[in-house]
Structure 1
Amino acid sequence: MSGLPGRVLVTGAAGAIGTSLRGTLLRKIVQVRLSDIRPVGQAAEHEEFVQADLTDLDQVRAAVRGMDAVVHLGGVADETNFAALKGANLEGVYNVFEACRLEGVPRVVNTSSNRITGFHPAGRTLDGLEAVRPDGLYGAAKAFGEAVASMYADRFGLDVVSVRIGSFEEQPSEPRHLHTWLSPSDASRLYEACLAAPAGIGHVTIYGVSRNTRSWWSQSPAASALGYRPEDDAEEFADRLQPYTEPYQGGQYTQYEYGGWAARPDADRIP
């Protein structure tokens, strides 16, 4: 593992993961630039805030300028209709990578999602090398982001880690979390490993998950080489939760109506 970069931009810094990392990992970074379309609260001495709309390439270029790495967290965070997703989650991820190319920023930690493989069976162990089977438009948009990340690594030489985030929660609160939980402490360890990995890694996909006894996800050899060593285990909370019984890893996210955009065609017909 190499050292941490001195100057790091965090997009979507007002969200749950960004807010958590400000209290842990980002305290180790010399200069942190926080970016979002909404306020992020009081900036610490080593932080600055740059408001940027991910759909505006010029604004994104200004945000990434002078940085050594970008932690890309920004975007719509759950399933919704295509019109709501296409700006930040499609155009936005392209703008981040294009801005990094134009401004000479060599590393991106691209926040993807476990929802990219939600239609894999619940009993199958995944390592990031399997085919994507997104459980909705949100997951499909994340698959697009990973494809863009791979292309920018291969064609332009960026180092990119795409992190398929699990269920980021203070504690597991539903059966699925026994398999998917990512604790705040492990999130800090995860993003630190991604930022500190040596140059020349290309594009690597890693599952962002704690050391859960029942985890559905392992890491490929390339992902393991990044040095992420989770410590927390959802099993500590297993006595509070029922077993998971859904057929797919995505659970409720695989349901026909989830997200509200895909009502059944005959739903408004009168019997």
Structure 2
Amino acid sequence: MIYDRILLTGAAGLLGSVLRNRLAPQVKLLRSTDITELTNAAPNEELVKADLGDLSAAAGLVKGIDAIVHFGGLSKDADFVSICRVNIAGFQSLYEAARLAGVKRVVFASSVHAIGFYDQNDVIGTNAPLRPDSNYGVAKAFGENLAQLYWDKHGLETVSIRIGSSEPKPSTRRHLRTWLSFDDMCQLVECSLTAPRVRHTVVYGASNNAASFWDNTLARHLGYTPKDSADDFRDEIFASDSRPDRDDVVNRLQGGVFCR
């Protein structure tokens, strides 16, 4: 790891909890933060309870930090006021505090929902125009654009990971194209932190699934080589979902249920 002191936001969430355990042994300091109380700190881990919507909290969170792994914020769709306070205004505050503190790199948990209104028959690259499917998706699109601004204007590097469906195992036909295993998710975050130069890189977060909506060619410099595959669960998925409704947006658009 080329960064010694890392801030992890959203550390109490599903993915954040996995990342806490993976990152702590690799760095000198892991500062883990969430709006809920965190426990069982690793020997080199600081636990900080903070609300990302509290704009005054950002400066304290980034003090002395080299890189940020930003998995915090509201993780589901909500009314725009709530999304704006935490996922938009809070994110901007975190970036500005990072700039002022001299943070070198951010790994941003973006989402498929930033491009969710593409058809499932489309195969799109990382430079495809944004097509958010919800308030949540709008916030992820904002985050990617903010990351581009802070690279172009201030030289703050970011890897924006458009996460597909990161769950313990895939369970739907859509997941056969979008599933990202926890091990592959951790590997992708590690690649985002160890690649020598990323500027602002957008990458799709998916495992080594036989079929995909996405082309990661422009992000190959990260060195990400996924190992797991949703295809190992194909028979189980087909048995539980034998006759999908092709007119349902869940089975027609890349964002699935968020497009409703």
TM-score bin (small chain): over 0.9
User: How many residues are paired up?
Assistant: 251
Tell me, yes or no, if the aligned pair for 2:181 and 2:228 is still in contact at 8 Å: yes
Give the Cα separation in 1 of the matches to 2:14 and 2:194: 22
TM-score normalised over the length of structure 2: 0.93
Tell me, yes or no, if the aligned pair for 2:192 and 2:222 is still in contact at 8 Å: yes
Q: How does 1:178-197 map to 2 (within 5 A)?
A: 178-197=176-195
Match of 2:200 in 1: 203
Tell me, yes or no, if the aligned pair for 2:6 and 2:69 is still in contact at 8 Å: yes
Give the Cα separation in 2 of the matches to 1:138 and 1:56: 19
Match of 1:107 in 2: 105
1:123, CA displacement in angstroms? 1.1
Q: How does 1:61-100 map to 2 (within 5 A)?
A: 61-100=59-98
1:227 aligns with 2:223: yes
Q: How does 1:4-153 map to 2 (within 5 A)?
A: 4-153=2-151
Tell me, yes or no, if the aligned pair for 1:69 and 1:107 is still in contact at 8 Å: yes
Tell me, yes or no, if the aligned pair for 2:210 and 2:231 is still in contact at 8 Å: yes
Give the Cα separation in 2 of the matches to 1:105 and 1:181: 31
Give the Cα separation in 2 of the matches to 1:220 and 1:62: 37
Tell me, yes or no, if the aligned pair for 2:24 and 2:44 is still in contact at 8 Å: no
Structure 1: gaps (5+ residues): 256-271
Cα distance, 1:26–1:165 mapped onto 2, change above 3 Å: farther
Match of 1:216 in 2: 213
Tell me, yes or no, if the aligned pair for 1:109 and 1:161 is still in contact at 8 Å: yes
Give the Cα separation in 2 of the matches to 1:6 and 1:193: 15
Give the Cα separation in 2 of the matches to 1:232 and 1:41: 30
Tell me, yes or no, if the aligned pair for 2:23 and 2:30 is still in contact at 8 Å: no
In structure 1, what residue type is equivalent to 2:258? Y
In structure 2, what residue type is equivalent to 1:207? Y
TM-score normalised over the length of structure 1: 0.89
Give the Cα separation in 1 of the matches to 2:27 and 2:179: 26
